[in-house]
Amino acid sequence: MNEHLDPDRERLSPAERDIEKVLRPQVFEDFTGQFKILANLGIVSPTIHKGRFISLQFSYNNYNLYFRDSYQLLPASLRKLGSSFKVDNIKGYFPHLFLNESNISLDYEGSVPPMKYFNITQEIDNNISKDKIAEALFSATTPTARNYTNLYAKHLFGAFSVDTPVEAAAAASDGIQYTIHYGSPHSTTSTQGLALQKAGMKEYASQILDFLSDYECHKALSTGHTDFCKTEPSSHLTSPIAVLGAVRDYLQQVQNNRLIAGQWILDDWPDWDLGSAKPLLVAIHQLIRQYTPNIPTTCGLGAEFDLKGEVNWHDGTASNFSPQACDEIGLYIYAAPTDNITNPPKSDDYDWSMSKVLPQIASSLQDRGWDKNKTPWIGVGQAFGGIRASNTSQISIAPSVRNMTTQALSFCKAGAKDVLWYAYDQGDFYVPGTEQTPMTNSGIKAGIKSGIAACKAWWGSLAQGSLHR
């Protein structure tokens, strides 16, 4: 109809203006108004059920238009039906009321309309700017992340906290190809940036996670949850708007940093506030798509396996996940620390195959729309041990080479895209002299190499099998 209904309203005939009015959504509650207008312009053939219009067929100038009311034809809204049947593309949000403005054409191109035009009634975090939420929801002109990220087609191996040139050289010799770095990302000209480039390694940055954590700390202190943090962060990120502003400024600064291969945007989250980051993460993802469209986001989720097969996983931990925010998922799963320092259990007493915890995590994520074929995941294994500095009555049992091989291979067999280990540098997390890392424990270093070899052999067998089918 666009060739007959020119968007320049001054050139439309009276009949064409009436038809354009019919095409504007939410002018009427049902098709009654449309029927009255169309009946005066051409031939209308309605279908009526229980006194309400289900559909209209309208003939005008050799054209046939069909109007169908999905609310009358289907048992629920399109968005609810999409969620119920777990379809790939759920009906999004559109500023229908914006098109009721007389000066707005049907083929409008421009900035995202204000939130008032979206007519969204579901509960949204009132602290988040409505206009920012509108930007996140209205993505008609924004390419989907899946087709515009540099998600690796091959399997890679990584590690957390490769923070010095010595660690970069050691990690590279162990087979590590990229690192997750906490704090501000390294520049390409910094000492560590040059060391990473020399070692052929990339970096996943986590500065955005710091912004999010600072805001969550502010919320925690404001509500009396001093278990999450003790003092107000110096960043003073006291609102979602402040967080998004900080994210925008950060992305503008690093958008040309070729060391950065990904953004780690979510990590540990307090049990009293599970799921609260979800809408903000969606808005953050939109900013990342805007400024660094080729960089994927990774949402980290943590769990533990305990003695005798017990599992420490909270279903609500998955509540912050959404396919709209997370291009990848990072599952960091470790053996639970023990309070028995004097007679600690053996590392073999733990289930390093993660036979119970992996299915539980998968179930929680699937309940929230996760499709492993569209949102790949990364397994993060344990490469540490020692007495915890924050609680000296607890000790993390360092895994053996066999334990680390078992865990890595279990990740790979379960479908992990990559395997990472935590971590090459523990900072001050453990009591000095007790910390065990790939840099201080030859067994852990050997475990990483063995885990890499086991996964390569597994992936190789799958590729060989596909060649013979």
What does DSSP assign to residue 425? -
Say how far apart CA 280 and CA 269 lie, in whole Å.
14
Domains, in order of start, for the chain: 9-89 (no CATH), 146-468 (3.20.20.80)
Cα–Cα distance, 250 to 252 (Å, whole number)? 5
- Output the six-digit token pair for 197: 């480039």
CA atoms lying within 13 Å on the CB side of residue 303: 26
Continuous segment of H or E residues that includes residue 203: strand 202-205
Q: How far is the C-alpha of 296 from the C-alpha of 207, rounded, in Å?
A: 14
CA distance linking residue 399 with residue 421, whole number of Å:
12
Please give the single-letter amino acid code of residue 12: L
Compute how many other C-beta atoms are within 10 angstroms of the C-beta atom of residue 294: 12
Token pair for residue 87?
């379809």
Would you state the pLDDT for residue 105?
66
Query: How far is the C-alpha of 134 from the C-alpha of 112, rounded, in Å?
Result: 7
Q: How far, in Å, are 61, 69, 126, 290, 424 from residue 181 at the CA level?
A: 64, 52, 32, 23, 11
Counting beta carbons within 10 angstroms of the beta carbon of residue 460, is it exposed (0 to 12), middle (13 to 18) or buried (19 or more)? exposed
Which residue is it, tokens 């395997």? 419
Euclidean distance between CA atoms 444 and 52, whole angstroms? 71
**Distances in whole angstroms, Cα of residue 273 to Cα of each of 217, 267, 278, 283:** 11, 13, 11, 18
Determine the Cα–Cα distance for residues 118 and 286; give it in Å rounded to an integer.
18
CA distance 253 to 241: 19
Contacts of 276 (CB under 8 A, 6+ apart): 125, 216, 219, 320
Strand partners of residue 66: 57
DSSP 8-class letter at 207: H
> What is the CA angle 131-137-141, rounded to 5?
105
Q: Please name the residues in contact with 68: beta carbons below 8 A apart, sequence gap of 6 or more.
A: 54, 55
Name the helix (H) or strand (E) containing 45.
strand 43-49
Q: Could you give the strand order of the β-sheet that contains 43-49, starting from the edge strand earlier in sequence?
A: 43-49, 52-60, 63-68
Q: Judge whether 52 and 72 are in contact, CB under 8 Å.
A: yes
pLDDT at position 47 is 78
Q: Are 157 and 135 in contact (CB under 8 A)?
A: no
Nearest to 439 by CA among 170, 163, 165: 170
Q: Which amino acid is present at 172?
A: A
Q: Supply the pTM of this predicted model.
A: 0.69
pLDDT averaged over consecutive 10-residue blocks of the chain (469 residues)? 40 58 49 63 74 74 76 70 60 65 66 64 46 47 36 78 96 97 94 96 96 94 89 90 93 95 94 91 93 94 91 94 96 95 92 96 95 94 94 94 97 95 90 94 97 93 59
Q: Are 229 and 219 in contact (CB under 8 A)?
A: no
What is the rounded distance in angstroms from the CA atom of residue 196 to the CA atom of residue 202?
7
- 336: tokens are 């639970």
Instruction: Check residue 3 and give its pLDDT.
Output: 35
CA distances 404 to 356, 385, 401, 419, 451, Å, are 17, 12, 5, 11, 6
Distance of alpha carbon 397 from its chain centroid, rounded?
A: 31
Alpha helices for 46-100 (secondary structure H): 70-73, 78-84
CB-based contacts of 259, cutoff 8 Å, min separation 6: 185, 186, 187, 188, 193, 196, 197, 202, 203
Instruction: Compute how many other C-beta atoms are within 10 angstroms of the C-beta atom of residue 41.
Output: 17
Q: What's the start-to-end Cα distance of the chain, in Å?
A: 50
Q: Which uninterrupted H or E stretch holds 280?
A: helix 278-291
3-state secondary structure of 23: helix
pLDDT given for residue 64 in this prediction: 79
DSSP letters spanning 136-176: HH--TTSPPGGGSS---SS--EEEE---SHHHHHHHHHHT-
Indicate the SS3 state at residue 385: strand
